[in-house]
Chains A and B, each alone.
Chain A
Amino acid sequence: MLTKRLLACFDMRDGMVTKALRFQDNFDIGSAAEIACKIYEDQIDEILFYDITASAEKKPIDLDTVRTVAERVFVPFSVGGGIRNLDDMYRVLKAGAEKISIDSMAVRNPQIISDGAKAFGSQCMILSMQVKRRGKSKKFPSGYEIAIDGARTFTGMDALEWAKRGAGLGAGELCINSIDCDGTHNGYDLEITKLISDHVSIPVIASGGAGNPSHIADAFTKTGASAAIISSMLYSPKLPRNYPVSEIKDYLTARGIPVRPFLK
Chain B
Amino acid sequence: MIGVIDYKAGNAPSVYNALKKIGADAKMIRDGSDLDGIDGLILPGVGSAEATMASLAETAILPELTESVCRKKIPFLGICIGMQILFEHSEEGDVDCLGWLKGKVVRFDDECVRVPQMGWNEVSFCRQHPLLKGLGDTGYFYYVNSYYVVPAEKNDILALTDYNGDFCCMAQRDNIMAAQFHIEKSGPLGLTLLKNFVDIALRGEGFSC
* Residues in chain A within 8 A of chain B (CB atoms): 1-5, 40, 43, 45, 67, 70-71, 74-77, 90, 93-96, 98-99, 118-124, 172-173, 201-203, 226-227, 260-261, 263
Residues from chain A with a CB closer than 8 A to the CB of B18 are 74
Known: A74-B186, A75-B185, A76-B182. A98 touches B119 (CB 8 A): no
B118 within 8 A of A: yes
Given contacts A2-B120, A45-B119, A98-B182, 20 further A-B contacts (CB under 8 A): A2-B117, A5-B118, A40-B187, A45-B120, A70-B13, A76-B142, A96-B11, A96-B17, A98-B185, A119-B51, A120-B46, A121-B46, A121-B51, A123-B146, A172-B118, A202-B115, A202-B116, A226-B114, A226-B118, A263-B189
Smallest CB separation, A218 vs chain B (Å) = 19
Q: How far is the CA of A261 from the CA of B8 in the complex (A)?
A: 34
Choice from A121, A203, A226, A263 contacting B48 with Cβ under 8 Å: A121
Q: Is the CB of B185 within 8 A of A121?
A: no
Q: How far is the CA of A246 from the CA of B145 in the complex (A)?
A: 27
Q: How far is the CA of A71 from the CA of B20 in the complex (A)?
A: 8
Smallest CB separation, A198 vs chain B (Å) = 12
Known: A45-B119, A203-B118. A74 touches B185 (CB 8 A): yes
Known: A94-B13, A96-B14. A203 touches B116 (CB 8 A): yes
Known: A2-B119, A4-B119. A201 touches B110 (CB 8 A): yes
Q: How many CB-defined contacts (below 8 Å) exist between A and B?
A: 115
Choice from B51, B114, B182 contacting A118 with Cβ under 8 Å: B51
B140 within 8 A of A: yes
Smallest CB separation, A206 vs chain B (Å) = 14
User: 1/0 contact trace for B170-194 toward A, CB 8 Å?
Assistant: 0000000000001011111111000
Q: Is the CB of B142 within 8 A of A75?
A: yes
Q: How far is the CA of A96 from the CA of B178 in the complex (A)?
A: 21
Known: A74-B187, A118-B51, A120-B47. A202 touches B114 (CB 8 A): yes
Q: Is the CB of B146 within 8 A of A95?
A: no
Q: How far is the CA of A208 from the CA of B94 in the complex (A)?
A: 40
Smallest CB separation, A231 vs chain B (Å) = 19
Q: Is the CB of A5 within 8 A of B120?
A: yes
Known: A121-B46, A123-B145. A173 touches B17 (CB 8 A): no
Residues from chain B with a CB closer than 8 A to the CB of A201 are 110, 114-115
Choice from A94, A202, A260 contacting B140 with Cβ under 8 Å: A260
B144 within 8 A of A: yes
Q: Is the CB of B13 within 8 A of A3?
A: no
B21 within 8 A of A: yes
Q: Is the CB of A227 within 8 A of B48?
A: no
Smallest CB separation, A163 vs chain B (Å) = 14
Q: How far is the CA of A227 from the CA of B144 in the complex (A)?
A: 13
Q: How far is the CA of A102 from the CA of B163 in the complex (A)?
A: 28
Q: How far is the CA of A96 from the CA of B185 in the complex (A)?
A: 11
Smallest CB separation, B199 vs chain A (Å) = 18
Residues from chain B with a CB closer than 8 A to the CB of A121 are 46-48, 51, 81
Residues from chain B with a CB closer than 8 A to the CB of A120 are 9, 46-47, 51
Smallest CB separation, A203 vs chain B (Å) = 5
Residues from chain A with a CB closer than 8 A to the CB of B196 are none
Q: Is the CB of A122 within 8 A of B146?
A: yes
Smallest CB separation, A107 vs chain B (Å) = 23
Q: Is the CB of B51 within 8 A of A124?
A: no
User: 1/0 contact trace for B28-62 toward A, CB 8 Å?
Assistant: 00000000000000000011100100000000000
Chain A: CB-nearest residue to B8: A90
B162 within 8 A of A: yes
Q: How far is the CA of A123 from the CA of B142 in the complex (A)?
A: 13
Q: How far is the CA of A132 from the CA of B84 in the complex (A)?
A: 41
Q: Is the CB of B116 within 8 A of A172?
A: yes
Q: Is the CB of A2 within 8 A of B115?
A: no
Smallest CB separation, A85 vs chain B (Å) = 16
Q: How far is the CA of A40 from the CA of B17 in the complex (A)?
A: 15
Residues from chain A with a CB closer than 8 A to the CB of B162 are 1
Q: Is the CB of B187 within 8 A of A43?
A: yes
Q: How far is the CA of A75 from the CA of B143 in the complex (A)?
A: 11
Q: How far is the CA of A81 from the CA of B159 in the complex (A)?
A: 38
Residues from chain B with a CB closer than 8 A to the CB of A94 are 13
Chain B: CB-nearest residue to A70: B17
User: 1/0 contact trace for B154-168 toward A, CB 8 Å?
Assistant: 000000001100000
